[in-house]
């Protein structure tokens, strides 16, 4: 017999989960000292498989727990994010993975100095691989503006939203062992800001071929005074990031977000909330309409 689903968690229960996420963000031995950036990427990749035409993919299901999605080379490295959150799932078993992954990203964004992102719960977890979308739906960083439109229009985003979402590259870094690319976009990669857009515009980005054959763009600040033996700090941009400069419709938004941090925060918070809802069907009261082969979800 299928047990009745539990009733929706109270605000106090959700606050406990958020507090637990806050408590794990500080990770002195990991990357730049924070789990925040990779938690944001986990939520984005969980949702970014969405296809509006077929209404498949999206943030429901937490399909990355299965090899078919978790083992996709596009998701390399995200096992660290899932491992960071596993103790919280153990402590609060009533929350689904799909809800935990998306909620954790909103907590991380806020804690890193970013905007409040509206989040609603009720996602369910797949109980098998039948609903996992095909691989290849996430963006390829080696490509340009046409590819960005192809990928993000499929999810239902417009040009302004594509640029706002790309501002998440204020956070974190590339790791050669994950994507083949290397380095961070901004000097303070655990602080949410509009610095990514400013740097895109002001720096003279030079193409650099990596040993693995991939090309990225780099900038070295020659003005910075260095201690003896200190290497100059190189910042990077992916080819997809640079395409936001070369495409006039994207560039307008890069310029606006570079000069107006509040506007960027406002647009980012809306578009990230929209991203987290991709693939989620809710009834008029906001309750998720669940699919077969999933578990979790709440009684109204
Ligand atoms: Fe991204 N991203 N991303 N990204 N992303 C990488 C890292 C991070 C692309 C490629 C890469 C978004 C859009 C794009 C974050 C958030 C978001 C890496 C490096 C690559 C490559 C991974 C690694 O080596 O570990 C491309 C291409 C796009 C695009 O086409 C627009 C979006 C929309 C978001 C979002 O969150 C809204 C974050 C955060 C990271 C840093 C992760 C980390 O471990 O640090």
pLDDT of 81: 98
pLDDT of 115: 98
> pTM score, two decimals?
0.96
pLDDT single digits (tens) 73-113: 999 999 999 999 999 999 999 999 999 999 999 999 999 99
Ligand 1 pocket member 298 (CB < 6 A): no
Give 290's contacts (C-beta < 8 A, 6+ positions apart).
124, 297
pLDDT of 257: 98
Of 171, 45, 62, the C-alpha closest to 108 is 171
pLDDT of 1: 47
The complex's ipTM?
A: 0.99
Instruction: Please say whether the beta carbons of 100 and 268 come within 8 A.
Output: no
Mutate to test the pocket of ligand 1, among 74, 111, 154, 168 (most ligand atoms within 8 A of CB): 168
For the chain, domains (ranges, CATH) are: 11-138+270-295 (1.10.520.10), 145-268 (1.10.420.10)
Ligand 1 atom 10: residue of nearest CA: 141
User: Across all residues in the chain, what is the average pLDDT?
Assistant: 94
Ligand 1 pocket member 196 (CB < 6 A): no
Query: Is residue 166 very low, low, confident or very high in pLDDT (cuts 50, 70, 90)?
Result: very high
pLDDT of 300: 56
The mean pLDDT of 192-203, rounded to a whole number, is 95
Ligand 1 atom 9: residue of nearest CA: 141
């Amino acid at each position: 017999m299928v047990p009745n689903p539990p009733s929706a968690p109270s605000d106090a229960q959700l606050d406990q989960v958020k507090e637990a996420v806050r408590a794990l963000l500080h990770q002195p031995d990991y990357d730049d000292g924070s789990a925040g950036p990779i938690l944001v990427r986990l939520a984005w990749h969980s949702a970014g498989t969405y296809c509006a035409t077929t209404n498949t993919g999206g943030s429901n299901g937490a399909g990355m727990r299965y090899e078919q999605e978790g083992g996709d080379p596009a998701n390399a490295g995200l096992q660290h994010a899932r491992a960071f959150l596993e103790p919280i799932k153990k402590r609060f078993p009533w929350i689904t993975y799909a809800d935990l992954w998306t909620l954790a990203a909103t907590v991380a964004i806020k804690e890193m100095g970013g905007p409040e992102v509206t989040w609603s719960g009720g996602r369910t977890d797949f109980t098998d691989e039948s609903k996992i979308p095909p691989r290849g739906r996430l963006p390829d960083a080696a490509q340009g503006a046409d590819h960005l439109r192809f990928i993000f229009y499929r999810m239902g985003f417009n040009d302004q939203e594509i640029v706002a979402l790309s501002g998440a590259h204020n956070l974190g870094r590339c790791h050669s062992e994950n994507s083949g690319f290397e380095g961070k976009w901004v000097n303070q990669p655990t602080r949410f800001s509009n610095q990514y857009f400013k740097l895109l515009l002001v720096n003279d980005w030079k193409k650099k071929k990596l040993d693995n054959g991939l090309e990225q763009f780099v900038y070295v600040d020659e003005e910075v005074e260095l201690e003896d033996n200190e290497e100059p700090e190189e910042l990077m941009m992916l080819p997809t990031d640079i395409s936001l400069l070369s495409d006039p419709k994207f560039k307008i938004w890069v310029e606006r977000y570079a000069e107006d941090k509040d506007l960027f925060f406002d647009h980012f918070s809306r578009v990230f909330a929209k991203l987290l809802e991709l693939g989620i069907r809710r009834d008029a009261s906001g309750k998720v309409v669940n699919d077969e082969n999933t578990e979790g979800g709440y009684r109204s």
